[in-house]
Chain A
Amino acid sequence: MTTYPSPSGATAEAPVGFRLSRRMPERLLEVSDLRTAFRTPGGLVRAVDGVSLTLDRGRTLGIVGESGSGKSVLARSIMGLLPKRNVERSGRIVYDGDDIAGLDRKRRRDLWGTELAMVFQDPMTALNPVQRIGAQITEGLRFHLDMDRQSSRENALALLRSVGIPEPERRMRQYPHELSGGMRQRIMIAVALACGPRLLFADEPTTALDVTVQAQILNLLASQQRERAMAMVLVTHDLGVVAGRTDDIAVMYAGQIVEQAPTSRLFGSVRMPYTEALLRSIPTLDQPRGRPLQAIPGRPPNLASPPKGCRFAARCPYAQDRCRKEAPPLVEDQPGHAYRCWYPLQPGAVSATAIGVN
């Protein structure tokens, strides 16, 4: 463990991000009925349509969904990283006891980097191509924490080492395009973690990487999280990514959460047919060769004019009349397990081992 400064004056041996504060609430984030809509020439696109979730300190929430489900928008909405114009947002976002939804830009910027941070999908495009690595890391340190050049450099070196970059002195002076994809992603993580945030959003952190590197990065994220007692929201379309690495999972479809449960329980008792379809579509090693991949037929609905009934009805193999007419609400039967379906699958009908997910 190295010495890092921290605004609240942490002790010398504490890891970055560990703050001693008098009130240490368990609940870090509480989102209520968040809605984000974009004004486009084609109409008002409701990318996030009434999402509520909570996240406790140090825990990991996985948000899973296909393209266009609104998961990335959700992450950015909570953070507040949306375009300035043609965006309508409503709902409550309570972070560490304070409502941050209505914050003005300056105060939100104060939170970014120091409390909330984001790791983006493609490290090639997310790092400034004409700025050296070192500068990109130290910028946050110098801006938020007012460090001088010497200390920020030392911190940056330590950060690079902690994310597993060899020869950090050399890397500091290089440009992003001189490094491999995996290294770039590590650096992006270092940049995000520089000022010790307590909540990290990882938006598809491994999608742009080789399969071999993916596991490394996910492990890195997990270890950083443990060291810093950081909460994490892991956004991905890949159920395999969230399977062993999250505490809770929320499945999103067409702007809404359609199933939510602790990870340990989700795979054992899937209720929502969409989740089942997602699980089925994961190819496994022990499938017989030549068996076609099970894609979900059809396409997600148009978010500018969503259908009246259940949004998944058009593609659901179990759909009935009621599904097409009335939109099901999110209900919770076992504590912690919520789903949005009129005719949920029965527990045990789909078993995790049967589809090869551990």
Chain B
Amino acid sequence: MLVHETETAAAEPAVLPAEEIETAPTRRLGVFGWFSILWLGGLTLLALLAPILPLKDPDQTYLEIVRKPPIQPDHFLGGDGSGRDMLSRVIWGARTSLTISVSAVLLGLLVGGLLGLVAGYHRGKLDAALTTLFNVLLSIPALVLSLSLVAVFANSDESVSNGRKLTVLIAALAIVTVPILGRITRASALAWSEREFVKAAEVLGASHGRIMLREVLPNVAPAIMSIALLGVAVAIVAEGSLALLGVGVTEVASWGNMIALGRSDLARAPHIVAIPSIAIFCTVLALNYLGDVVRARFDVREAAL
């Protein structure tokens, strides 16, 4: 970025130690780190085990708890606008939201990561074409792009099934993550492809594919891991935004549609919006924090090389 002329001087290295710089992120996990892992781990567990947990039916309406705030007898987190059990819905919602975001990011990683790897490794015309593709995708703001895709493919008429909506949603979010993950992977692959051990593998007669997978990919992976974590957080929020705009999944509970549905009751029963909001907040916080920690840990390793 900045071209900086430095005249090499055989001089004394910086005598004064740097002032205390970074407050976060540290490489150590610390209290926040462990909380994050616990939260995410617990959440994933709950989401996976939802069908076998002793939860109320998330779609069953219980008239006695309509809009009742948390701590009701038998219904720990109260009821939503239609009288459905909030605790059960927030856990089933976690299942939906996490499925969508994690799938979207994994898909994006697969496609974007692969494309980025190829672009960074082969360079030349292929790289130029792929970079242009990334730039094109990036030139439409993410929300608008995913919104349009979902609108066109999953909302064009009334009869779209929920399964299809889910698929399109995941695909749309994945498409949005592809250019970001692709760019980062490409940058990393570019740097690593210059290293001697890659040239060595070439000389030994390894095929391009093999080199990319066995030599470059393992080194690129840590860099994109942190972005992937952040990506899941973004996808969760995106799912919420799309639900609020009326194009998310509708039949099953998700954190997004819980907020969308609870919006009209914001004055009377704010907990309907608050509970899924807090769930999103904690999850995003945890993911952001871990993403930072991962980045700090692997940035240093790269810098030391």
Any A–B CB pair closer than 8 Å: yes
**A contact residues around B16 at 8 Å (CB):** 38, 72-73, 76, 82-83
Contact of B7 with A67 in the complex, beta carbons under 8 Å: no
Q: A40-B17, A85-B20 are in contact. Are A237 and B12 (CB under 8 A)?
A: yes
**B contact residues around A122 at 8 Å (CB):** 6-7, 9, 11
* A63 → chain B closest CB, angstroms: 12
Q: Does B15 count as interface, using CB distance less than 8 angstroms?
A: yes
Q: Does A208 count as interface, using CB distance less than 8 angstroms?
A: yes
Q: Contact check: which of B13, B17, B19, B20 meets A67 at CB < 8 Å?
A: B13
Q: Chain B, 7-42, contact with A by CB distance < 8 Å: what is the 0/1 string?
A: 101111101110110000000000000000000000
Q: Chain A, 49-90, contact with B by CB distance < 8 Å: what is the 0/1 string?
A: 000000000000000000110111100100000111110000
**A contact residues around B11 at 8 Å (CB):** 67, 121-122, 204, 207-208, 237
Q: Does A124 count as interface, using CB distance less than 8 angstroms?
A: yes
Contact of A68 with B15 in the complex, beta carbons under 8 Å: yes
Contact of A86 with B20 in the complex, beta carbons under 8 Å: yes
**B contact residues around A45 at 8 Å (CB):** 17
Q: Does B5 count as interface, using CB distance less than 8 angstroms?
A: yes
Contact of A67 with B9 in the complex, beta carbons under 8 Å: no
Interface size, A (range): 20 to 34
Docked pose: A85 CA to B6 CA in angstroms: 29
* A32 → chain B closest CB, angstroms: 22
Chain A: CB-nearest residue to B16 = A83
Q: Does A177 count as interface, using CB distance less than 8 angstroms?
A: yes
Q: Does A91 count as interface, using CB distance less than 8 angstroms?
A: no
Q: Does A47 count as interface, using CB distance less than 8 angstroms?
A: yes
* B78 → chain A closest CB, angstroms: 49
Q: Count of A-B contacts with CB under 8 A?
A: 54
Q: Contact check: which of A73, A85, A124 meets B7 at CB < 8 Å?
A: A124
Q: Does A181 count as interface, using CB distance less than 8 angstroms?
A: yes
Docked pose: A282 CA to B19 CA in angstroms: 35
* B16 → chain A closest CB, angstroms: 6
Point out which of B5, B12, B16, B19 has the most chain A C-beta atoms below 10 A from its C-beta: B12
* A77 → chain B closest CB, angstroms: 10
**A contact residues around B12 at 8 Å (CB):** 67-68, 71-72, 121, 204, 207, 237
**A contact residues around B7 at 8 Å (CB):** 122, 124, 181, 208-209
Contact of A47 with B5 in the complex, beta carbons under 8 Å: no
A 118-150 contacts with B by CB, 8 A: 121-122, 124-125
Interface size, B (range): 10 to 19
Chain B: CB-nearest residue to A81 = B16
Docked pose: A71 CA to B15 CA in angstroms: 9
Docked pose: A76 CA to B11 CA in angstroms: 17
Chain B: CB-nearest residue to A204 = B11
* B20 → chain A closest CB, angstroms: 7
Q: A85-B20, A86-B20 are in contact. Are A72 and B15 (CB under 8 A)?
A: yes
Docked pose: A207 CA to B15 CA in angstroms: 15
* A133 → chain B closest CB, angstroms: 16
**B contact residues around A125 at 8 Å (CB):** 6
Contact of A85 with B5 in the complex, beta carbons under 8 Å: no
**B contact residues around A124 at 8 Å (CB):** 5-7
**B contact residues around A83 at 8 Å (CB):** 16-17, 19
Contact of A73 with B5 in the complex, beta carbons under 8 Å: no
**A contact residues around B20 at 8 Å (CB):** 85-86
Contact of B15 with A47 in the complex, beta carbons under 8 Å: yes
Docked pose: A160 CA to B176 CA in angstroms: 57
Q: Chain A, 288-299, contact with B by CB distance < 8 Å: what is the 0/1 string?
A: 000000000000
Docked pose: A84 CA to B17 CA in angstroms: 12
**B contact residues around A208 at 8 Å (CB):** 7, 9, 11
Q: Contact check: which of B6, B9, B17, B19 meets A207 at CB < 8 Å?
A: B9
**A contact residues around B15 at 8 Å (CB):** 47, 68, 70, 72-73
Contact of A177 with B5 in the complex, beta carbons under 8 Å: yes
**B contact residues around A40 at 8 Å (CB):** 17
**B contact residues around A68 at 8 Å (CB):** 12-13, 15
Docked pose: A175 CA to B162 CA in angstroms: 63
* B146 → chain A closest CB, angstroms: 40
Docked pose: A177 CA to B2 CA in angstroms: 12
**B contact residues around A84 at 8 Å (CB):** 19
**A contact residues around B5 at 8 Å (CB):** 124, 177
Contact of B19 with A121 in the complex, beta carbons under 8 Å: no
* B223 → chain A closest CB, angstroms: 27
* A139 → chain B closest CB, angstroms: 23
* A69 → chain B closest CB, angstroms: 8
Contact of A121 with B9 in the complex, beta carbons under 8 Å: yes
Docked pose: A207 CA to B13 CA in angstroms: 12
Docked pose: A125 CA to B11 CA in angstroms: 14
Docked pose: A122 CA to B16 CA in angstroms: 15
Docked pose: A84 CA to B18 CA in angstroms: 11
* A235 → chain B closest CB, angstroms: 9
On A, residues with C-beta under 8 Å from B are 38, 40, 45, 47, 67-68, 70-73, 76, 82-86, 121-122, 124-125, 177, 181, 204, 207-209, 237
On B, residues with C-beta under 8 Å from A are 5-7, 9-13, 15-17, 19-20
Other CB < 8 Å A-B pairs besides A83-B16, A207-B12, 12 of them? A38-B16, A68-B15, A72-B12, A73-B15, A83-B19, A84-B19, A85-B20, A121-B9, A124-B6, A181-B7, A208-B7, A208-B11
Q: List 12 A-B contacts (CB under 8 A).
A: A68-B12, A72-B15, A82-B16, A85-B19, A85-B20, A86-B19, A121-B11, A121-B12, A125-B6, A181-B7, A204-B11, A204-B12
Which 3 residue pairs across A and B have the least CB separation, nearest first?
A67-B12, A208-B9, A207-B11
